[in-house]
Structure formats: structure tokens, C-alpha cells
Amino acid sequence: MNRRVRIAAAVGLAALVAGCAEDAPQDMFQPAGPNAQSIYDLSVPVFIIAGVIGVIVMVFIAIIVVKFRDRGQAIPDQVHGKPTLEIILTIIPALILIGVAIPTVGTIMALNDTSDTECVINVTGQQWWWEIDYPTQSGCGSGIDQPIITSGQMVIPIGTPVLVRGTSRDVIHSWWIPRLNGKRDMVPGRVHTNRIEADEPGIYAGQCTEFCGLSHANMRMEVIAMTPEDFEAWKLNQTKPYESPAEGTLAAKGEQTFISQCARCHQVNGLEDADGAPIVSRPDLSVYSGAAPNLTHLMTRNTFAGAAYNLLTPECRPKVWNAPSETVGAEYLKGVTPDCLNSVELREWLRNAPAKKPMYADPTKLEATDGLTRGMPNLALSEDQIDELVAYLLERH
């Protein structure tokens, strides 16, 4: 076998074997809700039809290649025109395509119908993370009377069709949770919708699927589906009032450091300055896209920076991520406890975020951006400041 054939065979084999993974979290062939199920129900017969046709074509090609191979004879008779055969070979594929098109169009229309949704959640794509906000509404279980804003992880109640309304602050991103529904591009200046619904509690992973710049591969997201009771508990916690750290603690120092170093970009709801005035972050003055993740309840999510890194240590993560359906909600609601905090990676992030997640092609050209950054800049913090900030963030439950 020549080298190219061997390489092609190895790549093909690798792709085939990769397709056999059983615990693949982003496997659209393991649908976990009605929308993904209808996509699955459509894809399987279409794959079978396409597969059978593919095999027939391959077999015919093989036969022809062998039967009519060059035996050194003169050019064969040139023939033209077999109307019956040509008409049959046009009609058969046309019928097959029509047969595939009817259920395909039907499924697309059914998936786009959002009239039955009972909960509205907005997502906003940004280089390179998703902001997720819950507007006030009577839906989403018992209703939402105070907006909730988070990032990276969307929490939903099971058995509830959710209307995801998406847009983008910079370039085109694409929202995709393969086990819950197909992809939807999220485009600046437009609102696109995607209906998701999960049958069972669980954590469903996804990733941005539209190339959106340098850290596109680090732009992930997760949907956490929980029972309606757990979801009510989650909502209640997301709207609880702010508590300043106890005086004299490391976290209290961290609060001051946070105000001086971070609050210009990151909002912590309820944070006040020395005069008791609320501190409202102004990321629109500091970052290209005009927003940074809201950190009020950072420790209630368990991944960070576009869900690219874990807030949980490798020992604690499986306790939540591999929890059986009955307990995954309760495990998730515990949030990140001090003994489970992945402080190594969180500290690395605070020490130099662009080193952890590439944000500019050429970091030396930062001066040319008028102080506006893409993503989080390197803030040249001291190790003491980082200690304080970690202690402060750890209380953001």
C-alpha cells in the first residue's frame, strides 16, 4: 500500500472508531428531549436510505471499474441515447428526494413552532462565552419577578418547552446542545429562536458551532435540566440579596480589590461603594462587545470562561456530572464548596486570562485598541490580590 492510501485508511478508521464512543456528551444520536427526538427520528431513515444508495453506487462503480478496465484495446464504440433508461434513472432519484423532502420540511416546520413554549430565556453570544438571562415573566415554573442573569450554564426545568431567544454582541455564533435540539446561528442585530426541552434531569453539553474568532474552540455551553422543585430553589437563590463578606476577613479585602480591579467590567448585583451607592459596571467602556459575565452567583455554576474550564476539582466534578438523574439537581444546587474549588485554574485565569484563553492574535498590539479589549485582559495582579479575590469569589453563591 502506498503511503497516501495508508494515511487515508488510518484517518478513516480513526473517524469511524470515534463515532462509536458511548459516553459522548454531545451525541445527537442520544436524544434527551422531544425536539432532538424528532431530529433523530428523521435522520435515521434518511441515513439508511442514503447508506443503501451509497452502497449500490459503490458496487456498480466497482463492477464497472473491473469489467471495463483497460485491456489495451482500441477506444470502445461510442454510444448515445437510451431514453428509457435515462428517464427511469431521472425519475427514481427524484422520487427518493421527494420522499426525503416531505418529512424533512415537516420536521423543520415543527421544530420552528415555538407557540407552545412555557419559559423564555435569552442567550447572547459573545467572543467567547454565552450570556444567559431570564426576563421577568409568568412562565418558567412559578414565574420570574426579578431578572436573572448568568453565563455559560443555562438552568431549565424538565418537561417544559423552553423558548431560547438568541442574538450576538459581535460576530455570528451558533447555539447547539446536540442532545436537546439542532443548531441555531445567533446573529448580531437579529433574534433567532430555538426550542429546547429535556425529559430527564441532567447536564447537557454543547459548543459554539459557527467559527467566531480565535477562541471559538473554547466557547462552550451547558444546559442543566432539573426537576421543577429544584428549579424553584435555583431561582430563589439567584435572586437572594447580596451579602458583604464578614469584616476583617480575606474575602472582605477581596471585595475592595474587586471594586478597584474588576467592577468596571463585572457586575456583582448589590455591591455598593463606601457611600452606599450601587456599583454598576460599565464594560461598554472597557470591552469591545460591551459586556462581561455577571459574577453575582459565580459559584452556583461549575464551569467558567465560556464553560471551557471547570470551577470544580477533578475529584469533585464527577460527583455532579456523573450523578444519576434523581440526584443531579441536588448535587448541582450545592454549588462550588471551598474543598471542591478548582483554585488552580481560577488563579491561572486571574493571573493572566489571555494566556489561558487566546483573545488577541497579537497581544503586543493591545495599545492600538484604545483600551478596549476582547475578552478579559491581563491585569497584572499580585499573588496577594489573587488570594483575596479567590476568597471573595468563593462567597458568590
* Contacting positions for ligand HEC (CB under 6 A): 128-129, 151-152, 261-262, 264-266, 283, 286-287, 292-293, 295, 298, 304-306, 350, 357, 373, 375-377, 379, 381, 389
Output the smallest distance, CB 379 to ligand HEC, in A.
Answer: 5
Report what 173 binds from Cu ion, ligand HEC, none; CB cut-off 5-8 Å by kind: Cu ion
Assign 62 to helix, strand or coil: helix
Report what 208 binds from ligand HEC, Cu ion, none; CB cut-off 5-8 Å by kind: Cu ion
Residues in 151-210 that interact with Cu ion by CB under 5 A: 173, 208
CB-wise, 1 or 380, nearer to ligand HEC? 380
Backbone angles phi, psi at 35, to 5 degrees: -70, -45
Report what 237 binds from Cu ion, ligand HEC, none; CB cut-off 5-8 Å by kind: none
Report what 151 binds from ligand HEC, Cu ion, none; CB cut-off 5-8 Å by kind: ligand HEC
Assign 81 to helix, strand or coil: coil
**The amino acid at 348:** E
Output the smallest distance, CB 242 to ligand HEC, in A.
Answer: 16
Q: Provide the mask over 214-253, with x wherever binding to Cu ion is found by CB under 5 A and - wherever it is not.
A: -----x----------------------------------
CB-wise, 173 or 374, nearer to Cu ion? 173
CB-wise, 128 or 204, nearer to ligand HEC? 128
Output the smallest distance, CB 290 to Cu ion, in A.
Answer: 16
Q: Which residues contact 225 (CB under 8 A, 6 or more apart)?
A: 32, 155, 156, 157, 158, 198, 200, 201, 202, 203, 204
DSSP 374: S
Rounded to an integer, what distance in angstroms lies between the CA atom of residue 285 and that of residue 299?
Answer: 26
CB-wise, 152 or 335, nearer to ligand HEC? 152
Output the smallest distance, CB 258 to ligand HEC, in A.
Answer: 6
Output the smallest distance, CB 221 to ligand HEC, in A.
Answer: 10
**Cα–Cα separations (whole angstroms), residue 138 to 149, 196, 237, 241, 321:** 17, 18, 18, 21, 30
Rounded to an integer, what distance in angstroms lies between the CA atom of residue 133 and that of residue 252?
Answer: 28
Output the smallest distance, CB 171 to ligand HEC, in A.
Answer: 13
CB-wise, 128 or 175, nearer to ligand HEC? 128
CB-wise, 182 or 375, nearer to ligand HEC? 375
Q: How many CB atoms lie within 10 A of CB 259?
A: 16
Report what 212 binds from ligand HEC, Cu ion, none; CB cut-off 5-8 Å by kind: Cu ion
Report what 132 binds from Cu ion, ligand HEC, none; CB cut-off 5-8 Å by kind: none
Q: Which of 5, 84, 90, 99 is nearest to 49 (CA)?
A: 99
What element of type H or E holds 226?
A: strand 220-226
Q: Which of 323, 135, 145, 139 is nearest to 224 (CA)?
A: 323
Give me the residue whose beta carbon is nearest to ligand HEC.
262
Rounded to an integer, what distance in angstroms lies between the CA atom of residue 60 and that of residue 207?
Answer: 40
CB-wise, 287 or 386, nearer to Cu ion? 287
CB-wise, 178 or 375, nearer to ligand HEC? 375
Axis-axis angle for helices 383-394, 250-261 (nearest 10): 100
Q: Provide the mask over 201-220, with x wherever binding to Cu ion is found by CB under 5 A and - wherever it is not.
A: -------x---x------x-
CB-wise, 160 or 302, nearer to ligand HEC? 302
The distance between the two most distant Cα atoms of the chain, rounded to a whole number of Å, is 98
Q: How many CA atoms lie within 13 A of 278 on its CB side?
A: 9
Phi-psi domain of 307 (left: phi exceeds 0; alpha: psi -120 through 50; beta: other): left
Chain residues that interact with Cu ion, rule: CB under 5 A: 173, 208, 212, 219
